[in-house]
Structure 1
Amino acid sequence: MTSTATRPRGARARAAIAAKTLRTDRWWFAPLITVIGLSAWVVYATVRVFMHDFYWVADYHYLTPFYSPCVTERCVEGAAHFGRFLPGWWIIPDAALTLPFLLLFRLTCYYYRKAYYRSFWLSPPACAVPDGHKEYGGETRFPLLGQNLHRYFFYAATIISLINTWDAILAFHSPKGFGFGLGNIILVLNVVMLWAYTISCHSCRHIIGGRLKHFSKHPVRYRAWTFVSALNVRHMQLAWITLGTLALADFYIMALAAGWFSDLRFIN
């Protein structure tokens, strides 16, 4: 605060405000919804990953993305498209080859960082609302230094999206031949949304055109950069949509595998 001795002539003293914030709107609502939404998804995904059951529908070759690729000795043979080379211990997820990279890709995502910094860490919870911590160190210390690895997790996520795409294609070829049902629509929808979220990543946008000095000399990359930039504007929405499509695909396949209801078939 400027003292009386150094305050410019005619300037008013800063008001002494005891309240932490003068915002009267429900600024706490968005962080609360984020906490509830992310917590619910993490609980559901954790339960499903370690359930080790109801992940494969042999009649239609449906494999839930939570178990793709299935690589432990516990995996059903038909679901193990890339072999079974990890031990079948309970603590090891059946998709142990990909789940850690997917988790790290989302944790280091620019949107998700904003989401959990504001909601779980209150740093800060909203604009014009004080930080919940006395000190601010940024991302300069462990483990937040790992946020700088986001680009490399993006590469891994791209490979995983290719694997999920392969799973969706295989699901059209059931033991009876070509088939098409509601499960196929859900799996394809999930794959499309995953690709949209993955390539809308800020790192992808920078890789494609962030370092170009003359777009006119790189017309193909410029068009790709323009397309990715348009998706990047929706990165937050795509981040949430893909959580929904992942849960939907997993729940639908779990319900079919558990025998709760039958798949709605259009062909075969």
Structure 2
Amino acid sequence: MASTDAGVTGPTRARIEERTLRQDRWWLSPLATFVVFTAFVVYATVRAFMGRDYYASPYLSPFYSPCLGDCVEGASDFGQPFQAFPLSAALIILVFPLGFRMTCYYYRKAYYRAFWLSPPACGVAEPHSAYSGETRFPLILQNAHRWFWYAAVVVGLILSFDVVLAFRNEDKEWGHMGLGTLLMLVNVILIWLYTLSCHSCRHAVGGRLRHFSKHPVRYRLWTWVSRLNVHHGRYAWYSLFSVALVDLYIYLLAIGAIDDVRFF
């Protein structure tokens, strides 16, 4: 329920007129998040709407995988059921990985502080006079995070399949490995670490259990995911950068700005 008494200026809180008594540069963290995340959103949006330069055989950009729209030759491994879609093929599947990240518990903290200033930092008053939590639109959509996690698992499997295909050359023959293959492999590992360290994953493998001793397999999975969960925020940022880096590398290959570094 919304309340005008919420926050550090509420009647039950200490009467301190200053916005904060902190002497450190508390604003650096939300500012860095704002700049980096905004840069990624701008880059990803531009690339998604371009609708071209996303495939350089055998590499397919993760922004366009799976390519289900009107795709260039060789880019579609699952058919083109949305060939008549008038916009970029990336927009068909972008909602799923984007929805997973935007509803992620770690990213909520990051962009709540950096974009909505709710609150901008610990011990710093927020500018909002009322607070309704995640009970109203649009924040109520955050409750769909668990369902986006299931979609993220499917996306991870597809990206893993793309990595396997990246070990083929332009003639679809096995035995190829280039810098693009290595970058895609690192990217999919980071994406899986981010996906499997998710709080929803912990609930999926170990939630609603009253006796762990009666479910030894799920308990072992839960402990493994719990260890990954400690570094969930780190994996979130690493995978964000790796997705952009892989797409940029493939883009530069597609436009002929660079040549792929071949290992064998």
C-alpha distance in 2 between matches for 1:57 and 1:16: 62
C-alpha distance in 1 between matches for 2:183 and 2:157: 17
The structure with the larger Rg is 1
- For residues 12-23 of structure 1, the aligned pairs below 5 Å read 17-23=16-22
Give the one of 198, 203, 207 matched to 2:204. 207
Report deviation, 1:15.
7.9
Identical columns (%): 56
Q: What's 2:158 paired with?
A: 163
Question: Deviation per CA, 1:55-100, whole angstroms, max 9, x where unpaired?
Answer: 1112xx1101011111112x1121011112224556x231333211
User: Runs of 5+ in structure 1 lacking a partner?
Assistant: 1-13
How many residue pairs match? The answer is: 250
Q: What's 2:231 paired with?
A: 234
Relative to structure 1, the CA distance from residue 141 to residue 210 in structure 2 (aligned partners, 3 Å threshold; closer, same or farther) is: same
2:258 is the counterpart of 1:261: yes
Give the one of 83, 99, 114 matched to 2:94. 99
2:225 is the counterpart of 1:243: no
Report deviation, 1:172.
0.8
Contact 2:100 2:148 in 1 (8 A): yes
Q: What amino acid maps onto 2:60 in structure 1?
A: L
Report deviation, 1:221.
1.1
Report deviation, 1:264.
1.0
Q: What's 2:54 paired with?
A: 55
User: Runs of 5+ in structure 2 lacking a partner?
Assistant: 1-12
Question: Deviation per CA, 1:106-134, whole angstroms, max 9, x where unpaired?
Answer: 11100011111111000010111111201
Relative to structure 1, the CA distance from residue 126 to residue 166 in structure 2 (aligned partners, 3 Å threshold; closer, same or farther) is: same
Q: What's 1:77 paired with?
A: 73
Q: What amino acid maps onto 1:25 in structure 2?
A: D
C-alpha distance in 2 between matches for 1:98 and 1:176: 25
SS in 1 for 2:92: coil
C-alpha distance in 1 between matches for 2:125 and 2:28: 16
Relative to structure 1, the CA distance from residue 131 to residue 84 in structure 2 (aligned partners, 3 Å threshold; closer, same or farther) is: same
